[in-house]
Amino acid sequence: MKTVAKYYLAEAYDNTQFNAAVVRKDNEKILLAKGFQALQFRDTTEGSRLIKMKRLVKSFQLAFSIPRNSIVGFHFPLLATAYQFLLRILKWRGIQTVALIIDLDGIRDKDEVLFKNEINLLQQFSFIIGHNEAMNKKLRQYLPAATIFSIDVFDYPVGGSPQPRQLSASVCYAGNIAKAGFVYGLGTVKECQFNVYGAGYEAGNNQQAFVHKGIIQPSELPSALEGSFGLVWDGDHLEQCDEYLRWNNPHKFSLYLAAGLPVIVWRESALADFVQQQHIGFTINSISEIPGKIKAISAIEYETMNRQAMQLGERIRQGFFLSTVMDKIPH
């Protein structure tokens, strides 16, 4: 049997915090460690026709630079038209490709046309890696013949080791505050302290709702988080979570576990069953439930949650989940 050559499409990133670029960079570290080689475009900026032409030419060069018995991983959504062109050439050559889904923008933005375009693109791949079974079930409705795997949890490869936590009514939230309007209503949730990390903070809207801890580099964030629980919640409302969490695995979920933090998630989210099965936190219907839920947890119960979170977090820090799912890809 011939050895399969393994590649991934390397991408360019800015320094934006708490976005999909962080996941993509982390995944590339793990793939590189697993023996994948990088395929990379030199011209990474969008704009001029000349750059776009160079990128199309580069697509041809990359597509024909690798042997036929190869497998190539792409992050999805694809960030450039040239990446779509590369994908189609690889398919024409009979080379296997893998879509590692970071987001489904059509579902997130409730844009049916965009989602249809995403489905059409996903049809071009040999294999698809979704976030969880809820996402994969939805994809199979539109791609019944597709071979789809689940990553279950995104990795968060960082060094060090978290220290055990103590039970308290202190909760942290990390994310783009500009897209999390609910945080400005946290002042109505009594008996809890909320520590919030991230960009987009408007001081005039705080009204002592939470303590803003600033913007911290992703590599330093796990050791900086203060609190006993990490909150996974999206949207503008305390009583209603964004529907996208029914299918999506937020990166902050992995961050909290990498920090050894038990988690609080929406009861209707795709992650709710996983949290309960792994005994790594609790679920809520609304944020107003948090104080009562914490009060009902004994010190011994919290110790179990913390231990489970730290054990799972160690796998996340080591890149276990991406490494494992990539090993399932037939090649």
27 and 92 in a single domain? The answer is yes
Is residue 192 domain-resident?
Answer: yes
Is residue 325 domain-resident?
Answer: no
Query: Does residue 157 contact residue 30 with C-beta atoms inside 8 Å?
Result: yes
User: Helical H runs in 5-78?
Assistant: 20-33, 49-63
Give the chain's domain count: 2
Range of the domain at 106: 5-150
32 and 97 in a single domain? The answer is yes
Least reliable range by pLDDT among 79-93, 205-219, 243-257: 205-219
Residue 1: the pLDDT is: 46
Task: Give pTM, 2 decimals.
Answer: 0.93
Least reliable range by pLDDT among 79-83, 134-138, 176-180, 257-261: 79-83
How many Å is the Cα radius of gyration of the chain? 21
Query: Does residue 66 contact residue 95 with C-beta atoms inside 8 Å?
Result: yes
253 and 287 in a single domain? The answer is yes
54 and 118 in a single domain? The answer is yes
51 and 15 in a single domain? The answer is yes
User: Helical H runs in 94-194?
Assistant: 105-108, 112-122, 133-142
Give 114's contacts (C-beta < 8 A, 6+ positions apart).
105, 106
For position 197, which CATH number holds?
Answer: 3.40.50.2000
Is residue 158 domain-resident?
Answer: no
The 8-class DSSP code of residue 164 comes to P
Strand partners, 229: 171
Phi (first) and psi of residue 282, to 5 degrees: -145, 165
Work out the pLDDT band at 18, boundaries 50, 70, 90.
very low
Residue 55: the pLDDT is: 79
